[in-house]
Structure 1
Amino acid sequence: MRIFIILTLIFFISCSKELIKEKSEEKFVYPNYDSKTTSYFLEGLRNKSKGNWEAALRYFNWAYKESKNLYMKKEIAIANYNLSRFEKSLSAADSAFDKYNNDFELLELMINCSYKLKKDSLFIFNLDQMIDKFPQKYSYYFIKLRYIESNGDLESIVKFINTLNLSSLPPQMANEMLLKKIYSLFQLKRYSEVIKEFKQNIEYIDKENIALNEILVNSHYNIKNYKQAYTYQMKLINLNSLDIEDFYKLILISYNTEDKSKIEESFELSIKKFPQDLDLRVERSKYLFNLGKYTEAENSILSICKSDSLKIIAFNELATIADVKNLKREAIKYYEKALSISKENKNILNNYAYLLSELGENLDLALEYSKKALSKEPNNPSYLDTMGWILYKLKRYEESYNYVKKALDYTDNPISELHKHFAEILLVLDRKSEAVEHFEKAYIIGKDPKILEKIEELK
């Protein structure tokens, strides 16, 4: 019987050594444990397997007191961690790591504890050790990256990714790391570096990535490399051609290339994709007006306007385009076409009235239309200004003053033109100092050199 007990004890001691070895990534030589240490250790493992962490911790502590073997500290650290005693867990893990410094599980435990305890510098130190000792544990690259990202430190993201050997990483990971770096460089407005990084590492990156192509478009655009920006925007449209904003951007970039063929191509593609979009047609009409192709510009918009209400909108847009281009007669023609359909659209009534006041023509008709627009929206600052300016042209200065003053009262952000009108009215009313004040406000908003000259004359 005594021989059987001795053999059983030897068997348990042997098993305990193997169990300890299996938990570590190093091959250790353990001292022979006495029966008490072995008994405590095995009881600790049994409770650990059942999730009885308090009991497991108690037995592992006893085993450590008996043996002073640092590997027991690892089990103590694990038990404390599962009991949310992170400070004690970290202390025990750190003690064990002094000897077993290539133990993955210990290092992982130290990372988790330092994170839970918000010991940032220690957390990063342990992460760096993990990456250095176990370079194939790729998840820790991302953990470090996410941590740096959480601090919003774009420069550190770039520096960290620069330390990586992309060729040694799995393709998907290399792609993601590169995208992070490129995005960070873009956020830092280092556009030339974005383009350089893409070209140098093109073999590791997903060239069809939509976000990447958006970054490349904007990077080229910001360094005024418009032709390349156009190329990437075209690619973006081919990858994701559902968003109309992408087509508007293509048109914008095409203008900057100053390449007529690209401008026409951008409009052709856009209208083909969104044939009923009125705003696209308006944009194209602006371009055609620049080329002096007024009839083509008109047809471009009117071709999709079947109802009277849409035709009124179209004529109003055409009139606005013509007015901006200083083609006043063309603008009058379009307003009159709109009014021939209906004289109830308040915007057209107001805009036409204001245009007539600027030209100093048909002021009685302008007054009639302005009154009609105001009857529909009496507190509209733009309509009040129109009425005031018509009255100014009719030399009814006191009435003019009241309307433009009211227009200023009803707007929080008056445009330059409104201050200019008020200044002109004040001037004829012999209120020079007030006039200068409003001319100055007009200049601050609009930066019109003619207004500055006027101010200097008055002073």
Structure 2
Amino acid sequence: MNIKRIAIVIGLLIASGCVNYGIAQKSKKKKKKEENKIIQEFPKNISPERSVDQAEYIFAEGIKHVILEDYKKALVLLEESERLNPDNPTTKFKIAQVYYDMEKYNEALPYAVKALQIDNSNIYYYLLLADIHKARKEYEQVVKVYKDLLDIVDGSEEYYFDLASAYLHLSDYKNAIEAYNKAEGIFGLNEAVVRQKQRIYLNINDLDAALAEGQKLVDAFPSNSGYAVAQAQMLFSNDKFEEAENVLSKLFEKLPNDPEAQLMLAKIYQKQGRTEEADKLMETAFLSNDLEVENKLEVLRNYLQKEDDRVKTEKGKKLAEIVVKVHPESDLSNGIYGDFLLYEGKKKEARGYYLKSLKANGDSYEIWQKVINIDWEFQEFDSVVIHSESALEFFPNQAQLYLYNGTGNYVLQKYEESMESLEQGKMLATDPDLKIQFNAQLGDVYYNLEEYDRSDDAFEDVLKQDPNNEHVLNNYGYFLSVRKENLKRAKELGEQLMKLAPNSPTYQDTYGWILYVSGDYKNAVKILEKAANASDNGTIVEHYGDALFKINKKDEALIQWKKAKELGGSENEELLDKKINQKDLVE
């Protein structure tokens, strides 16, 4: 087949508008008729010359469908073209290519083989056959195809790289190296090839050969600090400290102030115990704007990992201070300095640098968490809400942030906002433990919104998964007692709480108050007395006074109410004042 002629046919078809999206929109039935019409346009018993013409025409029609990625219809036409002209390698190649694109590698293989048998001078036939064998993970065959290509087709030398890669898949390191060496001999020294050869040599434990490869780059490009530093790093990693120092010394003759080389030499000095020289050189390197902040951070992280060595941590902080001064707007420098301050316990200062980091780049979930945890520790719930909302702009699918936000709003008594955040986060939570936290907090929120059924349901959901959840046992039981509803269930919750933490004044107060509301004043007094004696909480002491009054110990009750007044923290100061002034239980 005349390839140029086919290209002209396709070009004319495209120019005349035959290849357009309208074809793709025709009905399947109509398309099938058109295909059959094309195939049947010429009689079967025709002269060879007319058969070739028909094959070329059908081939062009098939290519139209390939362009539209309508591979099934393309194959019908291309295989008919191949039947009419079975000696045409281009048609076989195209059929193989379509099957390959459809990931039908078994069907593609024989067509690709036949195309190459007919014409072994076409580089693309080799490449397709190699790709098919790769897809079938037949790397021995891949090697054969590339070797044939390199032997037969002039100008194919670039495929020595692919041949080497195929050898690597077979773990044939010797031949892979040989292929890379041939490529290097043709195209010259190439860093990517050198690094690949080094990886191979290291994989077979031939350190000397790996170092020899790296030295080639150092010798060829003596002013390239990256090659010298990389060579020194390999020597350093294999405890060849003096040799590494020699490589860097030669570099310093040309580039005396190269910061990467200074940093590498400082590491060598540290290993050799030359601490003072190492520290000085490290500081010099860190003061350079030419040393990337990422390289500095790699060093600083190593200092942070040595938390048991305060001296080294102090040195790390000093270097971090330098980094912040040299790179004041960098999110990375501010973040790492914040870490050193956090380690020192300077949490508010650390938060300031974390916020600078986030201002430069808010896409760090870890730093947002650190900021919010510090907010929480200092009970700055306004900040918890503000910072969690800012974090959600970057991480809208992080359930934990909604928990922070919802809980912060709850503490601030913004119950509607709290409910909205908690419900949203609960939908995103996949961790069962996290869902328990959401439901526990929602139980509190719904109670304060006076949506008691929803509150009870949320608490019960928690207890189904975690029957010993002390927060829920305490709050749920207390809320039921305040509402004076389902006191039997409240008492069960209180009893369970006492089994888990019998000496907690807070939980004793809850259980004692449940007994008080249930009318069991005698036992309420016993429990509340323990709580009041162990606590300075005004509400607990007031509850004890109420229970004493119910068993006619009115003078003692008055003493407890006055004590509660002094302690402060009563749930209702006005009501407590009435009790004291009227010497009577006002409920």
TM-score in terms of structure 1 length: 0.57
Whichever residue aligns with residue 44 of structure 2, its letter is D
1:215 lines up with 2:162 in the alignment: yes
Whichever residue aligns with residue 182 of structure 2, its letter is K
RMSD value, Cα = 4.9
Distance 1:222 1:407, change over 3 A: farther
* Secondary structure of 1:276's aligned partner: coil
1 CA distance for matches of 2:61 and 2:183?
44
1:206 deviation in Å? 4.6
1:229 deviation in Å? 2.5
**Per-residue displacement from partner, 1:42-72 (whole Å, max 9, x unpaired)?**
xxxxxxxxxxxxxxxxxxxxxxxxxxxxxxx
1 CA distance for matches of 2:83 and 2:188?
46
State how 1:233-272 maps to structure 2 within 5 Å.
233-272=180-219
1:361 deviation in Å? 1.7
1:120 lines up with 2:57 in the alignment: no
1 CA distance for matches of 2:299 and 2:116?
67
* Secondary structure of 1:172's aligned partner: coil
2 CA distance for matches of 1:95 and 1:341?
79
Q: Determine which of 314, 328, 331 is the counterpart of 1:378.
A: 328
1:162 lines up with 2:117 in the alignment: no
1:313 deviation in Å? 2.8
2:92–2:112: 8 Å Cα contact kept in structure 1?
no
Q: Which has the higher contact order (CA 8 A, sep 6+)?
A: 1
Gaps of 5+ in 1: 1-82, 439-459
1:356–1:363: 8 Å Cα contact kept in structure 2?
yes
**Per-residue displacement from partner, 1:193-227 (whole Å, max 9, x unpaired)?**
4235557x589645983443222222232344434
2 CA distance for matches of 1:116 and 1:280?
50
1:334 deviation in Å? 3.9
Q: Which residue in 2 is equivalent to 1:276?
A: 223
Q: Which residue in 2 is equivalent to 1:172?
A: 121
Q: Which residue in 2 is equivalent to 1:294?
A: 241
Q: Determine which of 313, 323, 326 is the counterpart of 2:260.
A: 313
1:256 deviation in Å? 1.8
Whichever residue aligns with residue 216 of structure 1, its letter is L
1:316–1:335: 8 Å Cα contact kept in structure 2?
no
State how 1:40-439 maps to structure 2 within 5 Å.
94=40, 96-100=42-46, 102=48, 103-112=50-59, 114-115=61-62, 118=65, 120-132=74-86, 135=87, 137-144=88-95, 156-163=107-114, 166=117, 169-173=118-122, 176-186=124-134, 189-195=137-143, 197=145, 205-206=152-153, 209-306=156-253, 310-319=257-266, 327=271, 333-337=277-281, 339=283, 343=287, 345=289, 347=293, 358=306, 359-361=309-311, 367=317, 369-404=319-354, 407=357, 410-411=360-361, 414=364
2:62–2:77: 8 Å Cα contact kept in structure 1?
yes
2 CA distance for matches of 1:427 and 1:259?
55
1 CA distance for matches of 2:347 and 2:285?
34
1:112 deviation in Å? 4.8
* Secondary structure of 2:43's aligned partner: helix
2 CA distance for matches of 1:430 and 1:85?
73
1:384–1:407: 8 Å Cα contact kept in structure 2?
yes
Whichever residue aligns with residue 178 of structure 1, its letter is Y
1:148–1:157: 8 Å Cα contact kept in structure 2?
yes
1:232 deviation in Å? 2.0
Gaps of 5+ in 2: 1-15, 20-32, 66-72, 381-387, 389-399, 402-587
Whichever residue aligns with residue 181 of structure 2, its letter is M
1:404 deviation in Å? 4.1
Aligned residues: 341
2 CA distance for matches of 1:153 and 1:284?
46
1:257 deviation in Å? 2.3
**Per-residue displacement from partner, 1:278-333 (whole Å, max 9, x unpaired)?**
222222112111232212212213423346674333112444x669xx94956874
2 CA distance for matches of 1:316 and 1:389?
22
Whichever residue aligns with residue 108 of structure 1, its letter is A
1 CA distance for matches of 2:317 and 2:275?
18
1:237 deviation in Å? 1.5
2 CA distance for matches of 1:188 and 1:335?
55
2:262–2:282: 8 Å Cα contact kept in structure 1?
yes
* Secondary structure of 2:311's aligned partner: coil
1:233 deviation in Å? 1.9
Whichever residue aligns with residue 295 of structure 1, its letter is E
Distance 1:113 1:204, change over 3 A: same
2 CA distance for matches of 1:304 and 1:160?
57
Distance 1:409 1:306, change over 3 A: same
Distance 1:223 1:422, change over 3 A: farther
